[in-house]
Structure 1
Amino acid sequence: MIRVVLADDEAMIRVGVRSILATDPEIEVVAEAGDGREAVELVRAHRPDIAMLDIRMPRLDGLSAAAELRAAVPDVAIIMLTTFDEDEYVARALADGAAGFLLKAADPRELIIGVRAVADGAAYLSPRIAQKIIARLGGGQLSRADAARKQVELLSPRERQVVALVGRGMSNQEIAGELFLSEGTVKSHVSAILLRLGLNNRVQAAILAYEAGYV
């Protein structure tokens, strides 16, 4: 069972998201919060698999809540759910350790796909956001690509294989099957990659793999 704490200051949004997630029998919303401070408290109390946070909330905004949760309960994966796809929000969310970024206006099926992907250890960006990131990488691509390649060259051959598959959006389980490794070994490789390259999450690793030409 994938356990979720849902935080949004609009009750109707919470009802809608809960209803969509309830269509998957393997996803359970264990608690709801109407503001960021309450969300942090509920996540600390329930220790869910995923905290799904709206960006704009009273008392404590979702981005600040994500930063607090990353420090306090790093095992809880964070998905940002928002109306906005401005670059500033996306950049801050990724820097604060978010593993997913979903738009409220997206196809409801994306909620299920995103939650399942993040729970499985993968990163998930709404396709509209992913397209913006890729388009932005087009500017100054040569210098960014050179820098990214130099970073990736710090990794072992096996770690480079793993980061390439992370860049393709594969989960730990899928990477394990592809490389004939145990899932625990893959998880260790991913942790080592993030630590060695100074990255906060799989989304940043996926972007780096793209910039370095591994995707």
Structure 2
Amino acid sequence: MSQLILFNKPFGVLCQFTDPDGRPTLSDYIKKPGVYAAGRLDFDSEGLLLLTDDGKLQHQIAHPDNKLPKVYWAQVEGEVPEEVLRQLRRGVTLKDGRTAPAKARLIAEPDIWPRIPPIRERKSIPTSWIELTISEGRNRQVRRMTAAVGHPTLRLVRRAIGNWTLQGLAPGEQRTETVHLPQGPASKGTRTRSAEAPKRPRGRVPGRSTGKPRNRR
């Protein structure tokens, strides 16, 4: 039986527990000893980060060979035509090679919290939101993919890893779940989640300010 922490990492928080430069880190939010991140999330990105006290579970979640899908919401510069989405779906050539095919679609502005500080906006250039699902783990991959097709990412939120989602978590909030690896027997009466198929919560992601206008087009 392992513990899994689902954490909504705010913008501007390092995905580590210490920093010699005094920047915000996970230790400002995660007080449980003996846990470590299953994967990474950039300093300037937001959203779901998983932490665990079990090395096998960490490997199952984070290792690229397991190809656990990760879903991102990317606010990008400009209006995105269908051809750009097709490029993302086919794979994009980056300096470290061609990416695997991704799932990509345009979405309405998600009902989420405002970023602090807000993104830079230029009145003459509209923005769009893309939902991008990838199974690789290259450094800053989503940002590099959208830049490669001519639409730099202005804001990036990771919504899901596998079937674990942000649902019910405002920025800086966390919840802990008990996980049984598939080869381990579950105890009767214990609420558990499979590492491969946790239940997907329903409803809205909390934290968005009411009355926040949509992106101007």
The structure number with the bigger radius of gyration is 2
Interval containing the TM-score (normalised by the shorter chain): under 0.3
Higher share in helix:
1
TM value normalised by structure 2: 0.26
TM-score, with normalisation over the residues of structure 1?
A: 0.26
